[in-house]
Structure 1
Amino acid sequence: MQTGAKLDLESIIDASPVSRFQIGIMALCALVAMLDGCDTQTIAFVAPAIIKSWHIAPSAFGPVFGAGLLGGLFGAIVFGVASDRFGRKPILLGTVLLFSVGSLLTPLCESLASLTAVRFVTGLGLGGALPCFVSLTSEYAPKRLRASLVTTMFCGFPLGAVIGGFVSAQLIPAFGWSSVFIVGGVLPLLIIPFLAAFAPESARFLELRRDHKAIARLLQRMHSQFEWSGEVPRTGHGTRVPVVNLFREGRALGTVLLWITLFMSLLLTYFLVNWVPVVAGHNGLSIASAVRAASMLNFGSIFGCIVLGRLADRFGTARVVGSGFALGAIAIGLIGQAGTSAVLLGTVAFMAGFFSIGAQICTVAMCAGFYDTFSRATGIGWSMGVGRLGAIVGPVLGGVLLSAGMSSSALFLVVGSTSVGAALTSLAIGRFVLRRRRSQSEGAPAYTSGTSTSHHVG
């Protein structure tokens, strides 16, 4: 390809090597993902200390957990839509500020009611940041590496949970539970100036705005040898109700299947994170062994999303994600058979995290790749919002089934079947949606000239 050639923006990003500038963007997004994952899990780490300090029953803490997840649901939907309308960067800055303030307000709470309200507000920021940093990473990643780059970035989320657990274990005995939230609130505040100074707006969002000067500056920072031709993606017109775009122009089936996949995958993820330690303790294992089993889930998911993400770029995201969920179902079923063996429990927990939770993280990349720039953050936001319903249902379902007298072995077989369901819907996306989209796009013009009015934002 000729140096200095004029190409559409997507072709420029796909044809160019990944620059240090792009790597820096993804590193900043991974850092935000780490803070998101850390703060999301922090309330679970400090709950025993708050319960003891306030002299309340553990069962009374349920609404606090639920409020954060519910806030995340609404945050992902509302701020995802806002990100498609106003840009990734301003909404990302606003949501990071929101969950930072929410964390700093938490130590001031003196009742379950105030704590529940603050956790809801914090959840709004945590859930709202997610579609922004996933979209930003996706839109600076070349198509050939998109799945692996997005999933590697999103590994920051479980890594943040692991780091948060370690830091909480050190801070709580020394400085009390409130110190965890002070640290968790100050760190995002320190990151915001770096995001404001170094994180750019999405190049593809600027393309839709036809901001020639901003795109020229970005290509210069990427050291691109190509020039933008001024062509804009032909993705159709928006509506006054952004979610409607997710069901237009052949996207309806893919959207529904993605929602089902995210619902089932987050149900099993949050079930495993919450109930593996409890069931391990109930089976007679020590608290240390139970905590190690939960840690193995998170470690497995970190390695899993990296390996599966690289395989997805080579063999197709839907196929790899579906296979991951299928293999993870076997590992989840074996958790219920571990009994009193701490070694076996840790091993199968790692495998469950590697395959099922690793596949769940890769589903975020599949979602980012399915939607175009105009509706990407809305699509990710709604998918993760529906998925958060599964995150709420998962822990509750475990309690209901155990209260009904179901054995732990049967319980994990039921959850394993959920992973099978996620595998089937993922494979269906590849078979009935992505394959059809590829065949229909052959020979169809994807871009139009810069003077065309075929597409607008908002």
Structure 2
Amino acid sequence: MADTPPIIDVKRFIDEQRFSPYQWGILATCFLMIAIDTYDAFAVGFVVPVLMQEWHIGKALFGPVMSASIFGMAVGALVSGPLYDRTTPKTVMVGSMILFGLCSLGSTLAQTPLQLGIWRLVTGLGIGAAVPGATTLVYEYAPARRSALVVNTMACGGMVGAAACALTAGMLIPAYGWKSLFLVGAIIPIVLALFVQFTMPEPLRFMVLREWPGERIAAVLRRIGPGQALDGVRFVFSEEQGADRKSGMAVMLSRRLRTGTLMLWLTYFAGTFAYYLLMGWMPTLVQEAGASLRQATMATSLLSLGGIVGAFGVGWLMDRFERNSVVALAFVLGGVSVWMIGRQTAHPVLLPLFIFLAGVGLNGAIFSMGALAAMFYPTSGRSAGVAWMYGVGRIGGILGPIAGGMLLRTSSGAGMFFTVVMAAVMVPAVALWIKRRAATKVPADDNEGLIGRDVTAG
């Protein structure tokens, strides 16, 4: 009778190793992916002033163009959920990057706002589909002791991408025209897609779940833990809800995860609604309170800077304390700070401080939602779960600026505006409290499982 092969739990293996150069490479690649996604999403805002003069068209006609990519990102995230079930996370990521790279190139061919809007819509589809895969890949290769911090670090690529877009626009558009900005946004994602295809792995636990050859799993583990004995072993993984062999929507809406899924959707929807409502109209309100354009721009920068600090801070705390509570408290900090911004418009001495704290709380919490969702779902439904949260949430981002315009036409001033934003920010805190309460009601024996692959790595 043959000896039973030794067992290696891939989750435990990653947790026990130091964060290797190979894992740093995965993080850096996905960081760049998020950065170029944001670059491409922001690019249209920098070309509109040029196109208004070149095409002799008023700015009102460009409103739908600027919203098209956000709408596309929402649809792309929703559509990508079933794709992750039918193929692999890396395949969806690579295809999505090629799609939005080609569509960014196609944007240079636009001659009317309608044509540009169509190109931006399809570009958004690719961006929306790529981000959940990157989140899943980074999370599954991060050790549990720092998984939230690693995922939040990746999310900060968005801030780098936005800054890079502004810098690139300032250098290229005056010298080479508006098409050059889209051309850069086309070349980089296509090159990055090829790099991912030939150098990046699939998520490890995904490979075990799909019963990939043991040699392929061992080859990845050797790059994380050089020198480890991996010949002739059986690869398994253990995680919460690991025994659930459902996938995609079936996992998200299963009895034990349904409430948490709905609360994640509500949290991200309300959070992005408040964020885009605030970002879209705060510069105008600050100027109306007597600040200069430069001061209003600095206020927006403080909000973004606070977001970077918040992303690292909230991620660090999530790895040490109950994660739903940490993110909920970050939303509370953001909500209180937003309310205080409204109180400070007449006495602006402390205004920069509260804007910064609003960024720490609100932006830090939103950046942490990818990690929170990735931790919540098992491997079989992780990519789809993260994708649907992003997709539903981005609808809030579309509605936020629209609601702001309506609110400012009907409200009694800035104080009421910031009060409404605060109320929207508090909704996620309540939703995450409900999510946490629902999780405590799941029977303990329904939460653990072991999935194995009876194969030896030779």
TM-score (structure 1 length as normaliser): 0.91
2-structure distance, mates of 1:117, 1:268: 27
2-structure distance, mates of 1:189, 1:259: 31
Q: 1:226 to 1:343 in 2, by over 3 A?
A: farther
* Secondary structure at 2:363 match in 1: helix
Superposed displacement of residue 95, structure 1: 0.7
Superposed displacement of residue 100, structure 1: 1.1
8 A contact 1:235–1:372 mirrored in 2: no
2-structure distance, mates of 1:112, 1:102: 15
Deviations 1:357-384 (A, max 9, x none): 1111111110011011111111011111
The one-letter code matched in structure 1 to 2:403 is L
Q: 1:415 to 1:160 in 2, by over 3 A?
A: same
Partner of residue 361, structure 1 = 367
8 A contact 1:6–1:226 mirrored in 2: no
The one-letter code matched in structure 2 to 1:376 is R
8 A contact 2:311–2:364 mirrored in 1: yes
8 A contact 2:209–2:452 mirrored in 1: no
Partner of residue 103, structure 1 = 104
2-structure distance, mates of 1:398, 1:145: 37
8 A contact 2:243–2:451 mirrored in 1: no
1-structure distance, mates of 2:52, 2:293: 18
8 A contact 2:17–2:225 mirrored in 1: no
- Residue 257 (str. 1) matches residue 263 (str. 2): yes
Q: Which moved more, 1:156-165 or 1:32-41?
A: 156-165
The one-letter code matched in structure 1 to 2:154 is M
The one-letter code matched in structure 2 to 1:230 is F
Q: Which moved more, 1:71-80 or 1:271-280?
A: 271-280
Superposed displacement of residue 261, structure 1: 0.2
Partner of residue 245, structure 2 = 237
* Secondary structure at 2:380 match in 1: coil
- Residue 426 (str. 1) matches residue 412 (str. 2): no
1-structure distance, mates of 2:174, 2:346: 29
Unpaired runs of at least 5, structure 1: 453-458
TM-score (structure 2 length as normaliser): 0.91
1-structure distance, mates of 2:333, 2:12: 36
Superposed displacement of residue 238, structure 1: 3.0
Superposed displacement of residue 40, structure 1: 1.6
* Secondary structure at 2:19 match in 1: coil
8 A contact 1:159–1:302 mirrored in 2: no
Superposed displacement of residue 57, structure 1: 2.6
Partner of residue 449, structure 2 = 446
8 A contact 2:11–2:237 mirrored in 1: no
* Secondary structure at 1:108 match in 2: coil
8 A contact 1:7–1:226 mirrored in 2: no
Partner of residue 380, structure 1 = 386
The one-letter code matched in structure 1 to 2:273 is L
- Residue 19 (str. 1) matches residue 20 (str. 2): yes
Superposed displacement of residue 29, structure 1: 0.5
Where do 1:267-416 residues align within 5 Å? 267-339=273-345, 344-416=350-422
2-structure distance, mates of 1:18, 1:370: 22
8 A contact 1:324–1:356 mirrored in 2: yes
1-structure distance, mates of 2:229, 2:263: 38
Superposed displacement of residue 449, structure 1: 4.1
Unpaired runs of at least 5, structure 2: none
Q: 1:117 to 1:162 in 2, by over 3 A?
A: same
Q: Which moved more, 1:207-216 or 1:217-226?
A: 217-226
Q: Which moved more, 1:27-36 or 1:341-350?
A: 341-350
Deviations 1:384-427 (A, max 9, x none): 11101100110110011112244112101100111111111123
8 A contact 1:104–1:185 mirrored in 2: yes
2-structure distance, mates of 1:266, 1:127: 15
8 A contact 1:5–1:226 mirrored in 2: no
- Residue 55 (str. 1) matches residue 42 (str. 2): no
Partner of residue 211, structure 2 = 210
2-structure distance, mates of 1:387, 1:283: 31
Give me the identity figure in percent.
33
2-structure distance, mates of 1:337, 1:51: 37
The one-letter code matched in structure 1 to 2:198 is A
Deviations 1:100-133 (A, max 9, x none): 1121121221111101101100100111111110
Superposed displacement of residue 159, structure 1: 2.2
1-structure distance, mates of 2:288, 2:50: 21
Where do 1:188-227 residues align within 5 Å? 188-211=189-212, 212-223=214-225, 225=228, 227=230
Q: 1:341 to 1:24 in 2, by over 3 A?
A: farther
Q: 1:406 to 1:353 in 2, by over 3 A?
A: same
8 A contact 2:303–2:359 mirrored in 1: yes
2-structure distance, mates of 1:168, 1:201: 35
Q: Which moved more, 1:6-15 or 1:105-114?
A: 6-15
The one-letter code matched in structure 1 to 2:201 is P
Q: 1:448 to 1:79 in 2, by over 3 A?
A: closer
The one-letter code matched in structure 2 to 1:160 is G
2-structure distance, mates of 1:302, 1:120: 28
